[in-house]
Structure 1
Amino acid sequence: MNITKYLICGIACALVLSTFAMCSKSTMDKAKPTVTTQGEEVEPPVTDPQTNTDCTYTVKPSEWFVDGANIPAGSVVCIPAGTRGALLLKNFKGTAAQPITIVNKGGKVTFKVAVTASYALKTQNCRYFKITGDGAEGIKYGFDLNGGNIGMTMDDLSSDFEIANVEVRNSGFAGIMAKTDPSCDVATQRGHFTMQNITIHKNYIHKTGGEGLYIGNSFYAFGSLIACGNVLPHDVKNVKIYNNIIDSTGCEGIQVGSAIADCKVYNNTVKSPGLSPFSAGQNNGIQIGEGTGGKCYNNLIKDAPGNGIIVLGLGDNVVYNNVIINAGANGIFADSRYTPGPNFQFINNTIVSPGADGIKMNSESIPMNTVINNAIIKPGSNLAIHKISSRVKLTALNNYISNDINACGFVNFNGDDFHLQPSSPLINAGANAASYGINADYYGTARPSGNAFDIGATEY
């Protein structure tokens, strides 16, 4: 997110706050299991929903604000089925062992608000809580947030939360936002507050005016200049974004910034992002933004007008097992704006028909760029791997480059089945990537399954 957009959004929010304090891929899931063998968590088995949950507190349809200061840790807060207006939850404080759960009760809850409203659902100064729309049998997304400038926002020092089984649509700006922008209150600034232990999964976000998921501040390195001087945004630690479906967003499908440790973005489907960006360069699939390290893997990204994945991270970034199709610009773009770490690593990705380069590296200041075992098919520029200058340091091994997608031997590429047929030239043609922590493929199949690693996102 660039500074122009930041200023526009700030002005817009100020105008809204002056009047009120509130601030396809179809619904079919990706054709892959939700498990992963990368040493990460596995989705639990399906169990009976919380249909018979005892409610500690029930939010009335007429309530637009609930102060949770007197709601004890471990409570279950129920929101009854039906259509209602916006809701602000403030001062909900669970514990790590006993989070407060906010759940739908009796069916689907639809938050219907005007797109000019600040939000549909907001948390303020909340910690150790879950918002989960799995409270009614047979309903996948029990919370339906329709409208608002931001569909759902975890704001004002909120931390330690989980968001799951939520549908967000028709927001003017972001679908789900999680950050506290720094202000002249030092409590909001880096070193005084850390947003941590964030899990956002199994959500469906579509038709948003801006980003689908907007997690953390975009200006990690230099912060923002406001009335009291230059202020730095808070750190984000231990964030997991997985198994979300994101379709038809105005800007990036997923944008993560300031996530300095233990960031994982995986198993997401991002389709048709960047349809109406606020400015140039905001039309990418997934943005691993300034101040963000960690892993980005096993994602499907289709039809991004800009880059499939853009990496501006700390330099301890591993991007692997992603399938990137029909990016308008580059399949993957890397830039070392603030990179104290040692390496950008791009391994075992499948990149098909990018409008420009397969992998483009403007990353001149990072000690090493590693590009191994990628299948790069039909780049529009005819450059599969592009260094912007001789100052870009590169290790490139066992990449497969072709202009013929049919020659790769996918089972049904047009049907999003990226398994390999036994005749595929990608099989057993890769370098050993185990030392980079890669031990499974896009589908969770162990690597290697034969004599050697296969090239691309999938292992035969």
Structure 2
Amino acid sequence: MTLYSQAFLVKQALPVPGFDVSNYFPVVGDTVSLTNKSIDNDVNLWTIKDGVNTNRTSATLNETVTILAPGGNIQSLKISNTVKSLVESTETVYGLLSPTEPYYTISVSNKVCRVGDSVTITPTRIYPQVIANAHTVKLELYDANTGALYQTINNVVAPVSVNFAYRGAFNIVLTATETSNSRTTVNKQFRIITVTPALALRASAIEFTLKSIETFTIEDPLGTTINTISGTNVPAGSTVVLKFPSSHDPNHRYRIQGLNLKGTLANPIIITIDSTTQMLIKYSSYWGIILQGCEHVVIDGKGYQNIDLGIHVTKHDNYEQGNTAIQITSLSNFIELHNLEVSKPSFAGIFCKTDPDVNNPATLRGNFTMQDTRLHNSYVHDTAGEGMYWGYFDNSEHTKKNSAGVDVTYRPHNLNDTKVYRNRFERTGWDGLQLNNATGATEIHDNVLLDCGKASEPDQNTGMSLGLEGKVFNNYINKVGGAGIQFGALGPVDIYNNVIVNIPEGSAALYLLNSKDVPEQNVGINSNGNFYNNIPINVYNNNLITTGNKATVGAYNVCQHQGFVFRNNVVSCANVSSKFAGQEATTLAVWEANALNNVVLNLLDTTAQKFGSISKGNFNIYSDSSIASGGSVLGEIYDFRGFKNWTDNDKFIGAYSGVVRVSSFFLQLSSIAINSGALLTDATAVNVVMTFLGNPTHYMISESSTFVGASWVGYTSSTVPFTLSSTQGLKTVYVKIKNNNVTTDGVSDTITYQAGRQFLIDFASITVYSKATTYLGAAATWNTFNSPVNLISASSIPVGQSLSNLKDTKNVASTYGLIVTDAFDGVDSNITLPGTQFPYEYNAVRFNWLVSETLGNKGSFNITGLDDTKDYDIILYAHRNALTSTYNFVVKGVAQAFSSRHTDGTGVVDNQAIYNNVKSVGGIIGIDVITTAATRGFLGILDIREKV
């Protein structure tokens, strides 16, 4: 008995505490399960916190907690065994106030369908236990390759069915809009639906029955053990159905060759199955499936029965060799692979390239480009080499002699517009995903890579190894042997919304490859004598978690990358003061200058960031997290989950925005209005009204868009005073607001400061008190009239008649832009003109007195609305012979004599403005005496403006 006890003590290890949390962000009132995952524990001691009651303790195996208050509630599990006592693990559960905003996820009945099929799209509320604010739901489907809108479905209240008329991939955008305030929450899923070519009618499909290596009479290395599907027998548009023989032995091996299959874009050749269960193709030596010299071919693992991962290519367990499960080579082009499983090859899972051959110019760049190659919705695992090996490993330019002894300078062919998405790569010996020489609209997104680079092969142990231009986003990389992503830029590269965790000691999350022999990466020599390039590399909104002491971003120090931008990233780099390494000091200084709004974590304390659980891979953040705001917009504003506006802040840091909108953390300044939206002010003191959602604590106001010299002012009211600068003219005022969590962008409004405001006659209600004539002009402005005869529609207005439905000088119905003229009748006319002040730079209204040598008109316009306490500048003008007249101009009964204001001797100068600083006090303005007769002409008032 004693010996047994001693043996037990030797075998028992240190206890390792840990537990799973069913929901890190429950709504207050929800119950959360805590599942014990500890190792080597004899005793459990839970401490449970619900946010209200005194902490509760228990010794049960598992626990639950009903969260009763918002905020963080730390749950604790301490365990013991005979080796050590009370080793603790904690997890924080964040209670949410009832989120009444409409939050939705999107699910589809089929992520891969075929042309002509329909897919059911189901919006599902995330918090159905809470009554949501009244809202509407809209679905928009976009072609992922062109960006074109495919279909809009408004007022969605139930699952909807969408039919797809053509091949492609589609993004879905769900917008939920609250009825009361038009506030939105948005969910965008990238390439969530892929539409592949329709299969031929089953009766028309070509059945291809496989023969196993074991059933061939001789294993002939020249090819008798190969099942060849030849383009000679398979025309474009065919569907080839793979079948095992009726006597199939599941332990047999198969090799399948597609040789010179020539489909077209409209009529591709499809290789598929017709089975309700997965077709397991075991192979050994070289490959399991190969495409050689093929174009527009689809390997479709769904088959006629629409099963997931319907074709599984795996190396036979009894044979050591089985190099590559699937190969695409020999100038094959326009290939699509989907719903496939690949496992256990002794080299790469999926191999896709044609190696450069100086004796075959067709294989070299410039002569061949591999176009539109796609891998999606597939599973690659347990490979000895790369999960996928696409493109020649080297991007460099080389020179080599061909068989004729001629030097040939060459580069390997490009892979253009390659798409790799919604795949899973797991337990690969070398790189999980290798793609090189990728140009054009390359996109690698929504892939999961777990435990890749297990063999720790130097430079071959990454999550992704890339040589590309394009986008890498929404990928999850966890536990790799080396760098999370190593890449060489061949053109602009955007890397965003990726989660890279558990990068080992000695490796960086991102590593930049470069070579002086890659022309794109070597455009010259900088002032320090080093090769350099300015390729734009934008790295933003990623979670990059390393466990060692390497910098977050490293580089091969051969070429200097001077176009590197690093923003809004959450990083950890233990024991390293700098995030960057591997470039000369001047380049690193540029990197640091372009590194904005990044957060460096202390992995031992992430309290401020309020993640769900970094150790459990839950990077969701509570809405008042320190990284829920403070970033800068750069490229996509959807987070890793596809969410936008879930916290009304598109400037989050890292790959996740907050889980929900919380009113105390939400702040949005919609608009401001100066003096209630007035266009003009005659004073520098104005009031500014702010319209916003949320609860601000401070505001800042300035005439500078960058708020130079402005300070934060405590918020007390939505209306705030402001003093404009003294220079007259158009003014722009900027305001921004903040609270403890959010600072908004600046919002602006404009107003014209004019100390002397212009007076504009309002002709909407002119009443004639004495006989007068109006001339209504057509398609003319004031300075194009040559004489009254050019004016149309002249008519006499009886005394006491009010004018309505007037037209302006362009013959358009208006109350402005009119001409009111006293006639050549020698009769005094008195007209009352209601007035109002407007901030126009010129006056579109004139009123005139016609004068002649024989008829001396007298008359007045009684202008109401003038401020008797102010003086006015009056700008007069004269027309034709009136230019040479001498007359008395009367302002409120006081005559102002003007003699020979303009004489040029010709009598033909029209519309000459006569500027007179006539001080007046408003009221009746008119003409009293003409002392010099004019043959005919008219004079009048062009402008009335407050005296400055």
TM-score (norm 2): 0.42
Match of residue 221, structure 1, among 382, 385, 396: 396
Q: Is the CA contact (8 Å cut-off) linking 2:623 and 2:647 kept in structure 1?
A: no
Structure 2 unmatched runs, 5+: 1-104, 112-170, 174-186, 212-225, 316-321, 522-532, 659-948
SS of residue matched to 2:586:
coil
Q: Are 2:429 and 1:250 equivalent residues in the alignment? A: yes
**Residues 398 and 447 (structure 1 numbering): CA distance in 2 closer, same or farther, change over 3 Å?**
farther
1:99 aligned residue: 268
Q: Are 2:561 and 1:385 equivalent residues in the alignment? A: no
Structure 1 unmatched runs, 5+: 1-30
Match of residue 353, structure 1, among 534, 541, 546: 546
Report the Cα distance in structure 1 between the residues aligned to 2:287 and 2:374, rounded to whole angstroms.
20
1:239 aligned residue: 418
* C-alpha deviation, 1:65, in angstroms: 1.3
Report the Cα distance in structure 2 between the residues aligned to 1:51 and 1:303, rounded to whole angstroms.
43
Q: Where does 1:324-335 land on structure 2 (aligned, <5 Å)?
A: 324-328=500-504, 329-335=507-513
SS of residue matched to 1:314:
strand
1:90 aligned residue: 259
1:270-306 Cα deviation digits (max 9, x unpaired): 11111125x41111111122xx111111111111111
**Residues 315 and 138 (structure 1 numbering): CA distance in 2 closer, same or farther, change over 3 Å?**
closer
Counterpart amino acid of residue 417 in structure 2: N
SS of residue matched to 1:69:
coil
Q: Where does 1:36-435 land on structure 2 (aligned, <5 Å)?
A: 42-44=191-193, 53-62=202-211, 64-80=227-243, 83=250, 85-106=254-275, 107-114=277-284, 117-135=285-303, 137=305, 139-147=307-315, 148-183=322-357, 184-223=359-398, 225=400, 227-228=402-403, 229-230=407-408, 231-277=410-456, 279-289=457-467, 292-328=468-504, 329-337=507-515, 338=518, 339=521, 342-355=535-548, 356-362=550-556, 364-379=559-574, 381=576, 383-386=578-581, 388-392=583-587, 393-394=590-591, 395-404=594-603, 406-407=606-607, 408-433=609-634
Counterpart amino acid of residue 359 in structure 1: V
**Residues 177 and 450 (structure 1 numbering): CA distance in 2 closer, same or farther, change over 3 Å?**
same
Report the Cα distance in structure 2 between the residues aligned to 1:105 and 1:341, rounded to whole angstroms.
52
Report the Cα distance in structure 1 between the residues aligned to 2:387 and 2:344, rounded to whole angstroms.
11
* C-alpha deviation, 1:414, in angstroms: 3.9
Q: Is the CA contact (8 Å cut-off) linking 2:489 and 2:535 kept in structure 1?
A: no
Q: Is the CA contact (8 Å cut-off) linking 1:352 and 1:379 kept in structure 2?
A: no
229-238 vs 279-288, which deviates more? 229-238
1:24 aligned residue: none
Report the Cα distance in structure 1 between the residues aligned to 2:282 and 2:258, rounded to whole angstroms.
17
How many residue pairs are counted as aligned between the two chains? 421
Report the Cα distance in structure 1 between the residues aligned to 2:645 and 2:513, rounded to whole angstroms.
29
1:225-250 Cα deviation digits (max 9, x unpaired): 47545542111101000011001111
* C-alpha deviation, 1:105, in angstroms: 1.5
Match of residue 648, structure 2, among 440, 445, 450: 450
* C-alpha deviation, 1:165, in angstroms: 0.7
Counterpart amino acid of residue 96 in structure 1: L
Give the percent of matched residue pairs that are identical in Structure 1 and Structure 2.
27
SS of residue matched to 2:209:
coil
**Residues 380 and 281 (structure 1 numbering): CA distance in 2 closer, same or farther, change over 3 Å?**
farther
Report the Cα distance in structure 2 between the residues aligned to 1:247 and 1:283, rounded to whole angstroms.
13
232-241 vs 401-410, which deviates more? 401-410
Report the Cα distance in structure 2 between the residues aligned to 1:60 and 1:224, rounded to whole angstroms.
46
Report the Cα distance in structure 2 between the residues aligned to 1:58 and 1:223, rounded to whole angstroms.
45
* C-alpha deviation, 1:416, in angstroms: 3.4
1:329-379 Cα deviation digits (max 9, x unpaired): 101112343326522211111011342221224465233210000001253
* C-alpha deviation, 1:87, in angstroms: 0.5
**Residues 154 and 45 (structure 1 numbering): CA distance in 2 closer, same or farther, change over 3 Å?**
closer
**Residues 50 and 93 (structure 1 numbering): CA distance in 2 closer, same or farther, change over 3 Å?**
closer
**Residues 458 and 258 (structure 1 numbering): CA distance in 2 closer, same or farther, change over 3 Å?**
same
**Residues 354 and 52 (structure 1 numbering): CA distance in 2 closer, same or farther, change over 3 Å?**
farther
**Residues 454 and 68 (structure 1 numbering): CA distance in 2 closer, same or farther, change over 3 Å?**
same
Q: Is the CA contact (8 Å cut-off) linking 1:155 and 1:180 kept in structure 2?
A: yes
Report the Cα distance in structure 2 between the residues aligned to 1:39 and 1:69, rounded to whole angstroms.
44
Report the Cα distance in structure 1 between the residues aligned to 2:190 and 2:495, rounded to whole angstroms.
18
Report the Cα distance in structure 2 between the residues aligned to 1:444 and 1:51, rounded to whole angstroms.
35
Point out the structure with the larger strand share.
2
1:423-459 Cα deviation digits (max 9, x unpaired): 32110121121xxx31312111126852341000112
Report the Cα distance in structure 1 between the residues aligned to 2:584 and 2:464, rounded to whole angstroms.
25
237-246 vs 346-355, which deviates more? 346-355
Match of residue 636, structure 2, among 424, 438, 456: 438
**RMSD of aligned alpha carbons:** 2.8
Counterpart amino acid of residue 335 in structure 2: F
SS of residue matched to 1:94:
coil
Report the Cα distance in structure 1 between the residues aligned to 2:479 and 2:366, rounded to whole angstroms.
39
Counterpart amino acid of residue 162 in structure 1: E
1:132-189 Cα deviation digits (max 9, x unpaired): 1001547311111111201101110101011001111110111001110011211111
* C-alpha deviation, 1:41, in angstroms: 5.7
Report the Cα distance in structure 1 between the residues aligned to 2:563 and 2:599, rounded to whole angstroms.
21
Counterpart amino acid of residue 284 in structure 1: T
Larger C-alpha radius of gyration, 1 or 2? 2
TM-score (norm 1): 0.84
Q: Is the CA contact (8 Å cut-off) linking 1:132 and 1:164 kept in structure 2?
A: yes
Report the Cα distance in structure 2 between the residues aligned to 1:450 and 1:224, rounded to whole angstroms.
56
